[in-house]
Homo-oligomer: A and B are copies of this chain.
């Protein structure tokens, strides 16, 4: 009986349970030599076949004796032992049957070839390792479902085990589809996409312990794709087709699976990751993954991983941590929503900061430390909520990081290359708010006080009590208009932004750069509504430069370094102070101290010089010590 449900919204647990039931995968068990069992998963509890040591043996170099023969020896009354009363032994040698103690070689005086003298009695079993002292025959060495580590190998071998029953490794086919997908970067041109998902999936499959086989991309041709699916199915235990899982005009995957077998589910209540296909061809799973990188990743983690774990015979316990959410997250009632977060440890609290949520944001996966799942039927989570985070990185990796939330500058990348750092780009005001709430160690800010023309200090005085925060000197940076090479549209002043032939790209509200723009527009009495592109907001300087370098956008406001990096022209407007606000209590934190050291370093100075457009005046020093106005 075929049950086809197209682009419907099935809850995740329901979909998985039904799919497991349909495929009823059974793990294969194989026996491998213990020396080849590293990272394999035990299919049964392993018990010691022999004891270790398997005979009483000397624990020291020295002489083996009967303890009773040594009683009474003392410094004042040394005791001589005859050749019949002792045997020289090295560490690990079997004990002679009559002996029950070892005297260390350092404590033995050889009087002649035949005779030794001791000055202390040996107590029973002194320096002897008795049978089974380390491992007792029959003792459980490893439980079942245990991934074998290097130290486990030692215990297994010592326990006389030569082969171990482990779960087999399922073969996983990875088949990219789409006429726009190319395998190699050198053939890239507009309208084509390099196949990155297959390598991510391949890596995830390897890490789970399965055996991936990655195929070349197949164009959007029904018969070609069908033939390749049939071939890949014959070579694997489970097949992942990527993409072709949505309802686009050329998404053949679902139709082909239906022709060959059955599509159980098409569309899952998961965001990102919705257009997922769970299919079955002759008992083999065929899973259609969505094309967007983040969607593909989440669909893998949510469906493929649990299915593979069933084939692999073990369930990897989900690694989680509790953390406090730093920002409100709004979610759809219709889907379970997966929010990527970065983690940091601030003042003893683990804090989770949401990252960019687009399904295409590959970089958000690189930056993410974990995932917060917002269940269906919930509108979102308030800032300050304690959440459970599915970890993408070991928790202890997160601890040494300095947490930097606020305005973005390219120098943050250079600092991150020199010390563990996690950053979120929420603009200067966002940074000040994060600092207030205790969600970061440092907030990078560049806020112009319109009255005084000075940067930053006035804002800290406004938002914090006296002596709560100080300002660490960062960099003076050149802001200006970024325009195309050669400035073909002859843009010179802010008035030019309102021209009909000029398209602008903006920075997000709350950023210092946006504030500078709006200030200048007011000064020049320009109506923002008259600027084409004013509503398109990007969150980084480099993002603005890249947009200007592309077709369709002519100008943006940003730093010189970004213009230089993209080989664009630049109309300077002036230097501004990009500094770091930090709470006084963190000044003695090792991470803050290291941060200040990095700013002071010659390596930082030369990296910044290479970027261009910066002036350094004692970076890393305290520019303002937190006094009142």
A195-B157 contact in complex given A180-B92, A394-B396, A550-B130, C-beta closer than 8 Å: yes
Across the interface, which residues of B come within 8 angstroms of A186, CB to CB?
Answer: 162
Q: Does A213 contact B (CB under 8 A)?
A: no
CB nearest neighbor in B for A532: B124
Q: Is the CB of A321 within 8 A of B396?
A: yes
Most chain B Cβ neighbours within 10 Å, of A140, A161, A249, A551: A140
Select which of B94, B191, B362 is within 8 A of A94 by beta carbon: B191
Most chain B Cβ neighbours within 10 Å, of A92, A416, A540: A92
A36 vs chain B, min Cβ distance (A): 10
Q: Is the CB of A366 within 8 A of B142?
A: yes
CB nearest neighbor in B for A206: B38
Whole-angstrom distance between the alpha carbons of A195 and B605 in the complex?
53
Copy tally for this chain in the complex stands at 2
CB within 8 Å of B: which A119-138 residues? 123-125, 129-138
Across the interface, which residues of B come within 8 angstroms of A361, CB to CB?
Answer: 133-134
Chain A 58-70 near chain B by CB (<8 Å), digits 1 or 0: 0101000000000
CB nearest neighbor in B for A550: B131
Across the interface, which residues of B come within 8 angstroms of A396, CB to CB?
Answer: 319-321, 391, 394-395
Q: Does A143 contact B (CB under 8 A)?
A: yes
Q: Is the CB of A158 within 8 A of B248?
A: no
Q: Is the CB of A61 within 8 A of B394?
A: no
Across the interface, which residues of B come within 8 angstroms of A125, CB to CB?
Answer: 535-536
Q: Does A12 contact B (CB under 8 A)?
A: no
A249-B191 contact in complex given A135-B362, A199-B35, C-beta closer than 8 Å: no
Across the interface, which residues of B come within 8 angstroms of A565, CB to CB?
Answer: 137-138
Q: Is the CB of A123 within 8 A of B319?
A: no
CB within 8 Å of B: which A178-203 residues? 180, 184-186, 188, 190-191, 193-197, 199-203
Q: Is the CB of B247 within 8 A of A543?
A: no
Whole-angstrom distance between the alpha carbons of A418 and B591 in the complex?
42
Select which of B124, B154, B395 is within 8 A of A293 by beta carbon: B154
Most chain B Cβ neighbours within 10 Å, of A134, A195, A249: A134
Q: Is the CB of B56 within 8 A of A551?
A: yes
Most chain B Cβ neighbours within 10 Å, of A56, A420, A533: A56
Whole-angstrom distance between the alpha carbons of A132 and B358 in the complex?
13
Q: Does A372 contact B (CB under 8 A)?
A: no
Q: Does A566 contact B (CB under 8 A)?
A: yes
Whole-angstrom distance between the alpha carbons of A50 and B190 in the complex?
12
CB nearest neighbor in B for A49: B185
Across the interface, which residues of B come within 8 angstroms of A200, CB to CB?
Answer: 150-151, 153-154
Q: Is the CB of B417 within 8 A of A151?
A: no
Q: Does A204 contact B (CB under 8 A)?
A: yes
A92-B136 contact in complex given A56-B552, A162-B186, C-beta closer than 8 Å: no
Chain A 524-559 near chain B by CB (<8 Å), digits 1 or 0: 000000001101101010110111011111000000
Whole-angstrom distance between the alpha carbons of A190 and B450 in the complex?
88
Q: Does A360 contact B (CB under 8 A)?
A: yes
Whole-angstrom distance between the alpha carbons of A122 and B247 in the complex?
22
Chain A 573-589 near chain B by CB (<8 Å), digits 1 or 0: 00000000000000000
Chain A 190-231 near chain B by CB (<8 Å), digits 1 or 0: 110111110111111011000000000000000000000000
Q: Is the CB of A90 within 8 A of B249?
A: yes
Q: Is the CB of A196 within 8 A of B248?
A: no
Whole-angstrom distance between the alpha carbons of A153 and B203 in the complex?
8
Known interface pairs A131-B550, A138-B542; 19 further A-B residue pairs with C-beta atoms within 8 A, sorted by A's residue number:
A35-B199, A90-B249, A92-B193, A124-B536, A130-B505, A132-B542, A136-B542, A136-B545, A138-B545, A150-B201, A150-B206, A150-B207, A151-B365, A151-B366, A154-B197, A154-B293, A154-B366, A155-B366, A157-B195
Q: What are 18 A-B interface contacts by the 8 Å CB criterion?
A: A51-B550, A52-B362, A92-B193, A97-B551, A125-B536, A130-B505, A131-B546, A133-B538, A142-B366, A154-B297, A155-B362, A155-B363, A157-B199, A158-B194, A160-B194, A162-B186, A317-B397, A317-B420
Closest 10 pairs (CB-CB, A-B): A150-B203, A132-B546, A131-B550, A157-B196, A140-B413, A154-B200, A136-B542, A151-B365, A138-B565, A136-B546
A: residues with CB less than 8 A from B are 34-35, 38, 45, 50-56, 59, 61, 88, 90-94, 97, 100, 123-125, 129-144, 149-158, 160-162, 180, 184-186, 188, 190-191, 193-197, 199-204, 206-207, 246-250, 291, 293, 297, 317, 319-321, 358, 360-363, 365-366, 368, 391-392, 394-397, 400, 413, 416-417, 420, 505, 532-533, 535-536, 538, 540, 542-543, 545-547, 549-553, 565-566
